[in-house]
Chains A and B, each alone.
Chain A
Amino acid sequence: MRLFLPLVITFICGIVMILHFFIPHRPISTIGDGLTDWYMIVASAAIFLGAANLVQVHVHRINTKARNWKYSPVVLIGFIAMMATGLLWGVEETLPFDYMFQTMIVPMGATMFSLLAFFVASAAFRAFRASNWRATLLLASAFIVMLGRVPIGGMIWKQIPIISEWMMQVPNMAGQRAVMIGAALGVVATSLRMIFGIERSYLGGAD
């Protein structure tokens, strides 16, 4: 029963959602809308689950004095401060939640992502080698696209932005399209396998 029930639920929900796509009329549309509402309710509940898990993991790290446990109180204090201010005063502008978001989370988030530039520069210096003709082709393409995406590229040679855009619209698009079609076929195949109960790894454990 523990296996049968989830498989039946998956089958019914999957078939209804497929029918909902092709038959946007009652009663299928009503059932489909109901299922999407339930999906959003379940997804919202998952947020609480995630928050509880975050607290549990970091409390455990503090209790066991795990490696780098000193960062865990910072996470918990930040989490509780944001949650408390949001629940007590709301999230509107000029209120404490928004103030903390704008003055702490925004600059810290932007800083973390900005660090990528340093790692990219260092990695490019050490790993981007013209070791064979394919790597050389990649290197040349990267140079043209990098120059084409900044104003200085056009100042060096007017054709660089045009060649860069052509590379994006022709070879890049062809490659991306192949990847996307392949991935889409994989999604369709996996979805059908899940709906018909062939693929069961999502239930946990081995299939």
Chain B
Amino acid sequence: MRKLLEMLDRVDRRVIYLLMALSVFIPLALRLSYPIPVGQGPSQDLFKAIDSLPSGSVVLVSYDYDPSTMPELQPMAVALTQHMFTRGHRIIAMALWPQGASLSQEAMSAVGDSLGKAQYDDWVNLGYTVGAGVSIVRMGSSIRAVFPQDRDGFPYDSIPLLTRVQSLRDIDLVISLSAGDPGIHAWVMMAGDRFGLPVGGGCTAVSAPEFYTYLGTGQLLGLLGGLKGAADYETMVREGRGNTPAGLATPGMAAQSISHLVIMAFIVIGNISYLAVHKRRKGAPK
């Protein structure tokens, strides 16, 4: 038994890596899926907030992330876009992170094309802006001053969707999909607190805890936290829509479930061997 515990204590890290890889690969390969019950919480709050907007509302979605956090945040972007388009809302996309502009284009054009939504009438991608919070403050008085043209170079004034959108006060809801700074903090402080806009958000699982303060005060309408938040949202969007194919996040939840269990198993094993070694050292004659 002692030898086994010592062996466990010195397990090669490559064994851990291999088991982690298998815990992700096998559920995805076998297409394992678990039901995703969506209870009351920040995901549902965001869904309800978007659902309650009148058709034709203008929603600004800020893509404040890059490819490194895309596996968590892009499924949110796709599910949110699907929901907003099916509710008849119009979307203005922009990015406070340089690579967010291309990711937004990918999500918007894919969902827009599948639902028959036209660029410049139903959605537009303004692209990336430098300046983070300062740019948001400037958008409070003029969006055109920050984005004189869209990502593809079309002048702001020639875009039909933007004819009645002059400043942030003409936006009905802001959603920031954020992987860090600048992101939700900037939107809550500048667009929400300063200009009174309702703000919702989506973020990586690791950064979700810090935004619960804003949920508690009502500064955030709702929040999608990590892949779980994205899967919750996909589930709500799919409800009542028959055999709609699962989104990008739902299949990943099985892999995440198993990998969490594997990490927990490693922690338990590590602690058992630690306690055994600790106990033996205590009992050893000095």
Question: Would you list which residues of chain A between 115 and 139 have a CB under 8 Å from chain B?
Answer: 117-118, 120-122, 124-126, 128-131, 139
Q: Determine if A172 and B264 form an interchain contact, defined as CB atoms under 8 angstroms apart.
A: no
Closest approach, in angstroms, between the C-beta of A181 and any C-beta of chain B? 9
Q: Determine if B130 and A152 form an interchain contact, defined as CB atoms under 8 angstroms apart.
A: no
Question: Would you list which residues of chain A between 66 and 81 have a CB under 8 Å from chain B?
Answer: none
Question: Would you list which residues of chain A between 22 and 45 have a CB under 8 Å from chain B?
Answer: 29, 33, 36-37, 39-40, 43-44
Q: B residues within 8 A CB of A110?
A: 67-68, 70-71
A37 to B21, CA, bound (A): 48
Question: Would you list which residues of chain B between 55 and 81 have a CB under 8 Å from chain A?
Answer: 66-71
Question: A201 at the A/B interface (Cβ < 8 Å)?
Answer: no
Q: A residues within 8 A CB of B256?
A: 149-150
Q: By DSSP majority rule, is chain B's interface helix, strand, loop, or mixed?
A: helix
A151 in contact with B264 given A102-B106, A130-B275 (CB within 8 Å): no
Q: Determine if A40 and B70 form an interchain contact, defined as CB atoms under 8 angstroms apart.
A: no
Question: Would you list which residues of chain B between 137 and 163 have a CB under 8 Å from chain A?
Answer: 137-138, 141-142, 145-146, 151-153
Q: Determine if B66 and A151 form an interchain contact, defined as CB atoms under 8 angstroms apart.
A: no
Q: Determine if A117 and B20 form an interchain contact, defined as CB atoms under 8 angstroms apart.
A: yes
Tell me which of B208, B225, B269 contacts A125 (CB under 8 A).
Answer: B269
Q: Determine if A36 and B131 form an interchain contact, defined as CB atoms under 8 angstroms apart.
A: yes
A-B contact count, CB below 8 Å?
168
Contact flags A85-126 to B (C-beta < 8 A → 1, else 0)? 000001111000010011001111110111001101110111
A172 in contact with B226 given A43-B130, A152-B257, A152-B261 (CB within 8 Å): no
Contact flags A164-207 to B (C-beta < 8 A → 1, else 0)? 01001100110011011000000000000000000000000000
Q: A residues within 8 A CB of B271?
A: 128-130, 139
Spell out B's residues near A (CB within 8 Å). 11, 13, 16-17, 19-21, 24, 34-37, 39, 41, 66-71, 99, 101-103, 105-106, 109, 129-131, 134-135, 137-138, 141-142, 145-146, 151-153, 194, 205, 208-210, 212-213, 215-216, 225-226, 228, 253-254, 256-264, 266-267, 269-271, 274-275
Spell out A's residues near B (CB within 8 Å). 21, 29, 33, 36-37, 39-40, 43-44, 46-47, 90-93, 98, 101-102, 105-110, 112-114, 117-118, 120-122, 124-126, 128-131, 139, 142-143, 146-147, 149-155, 161-162, 165, 168-169, 172-173, 176-177, 179-180
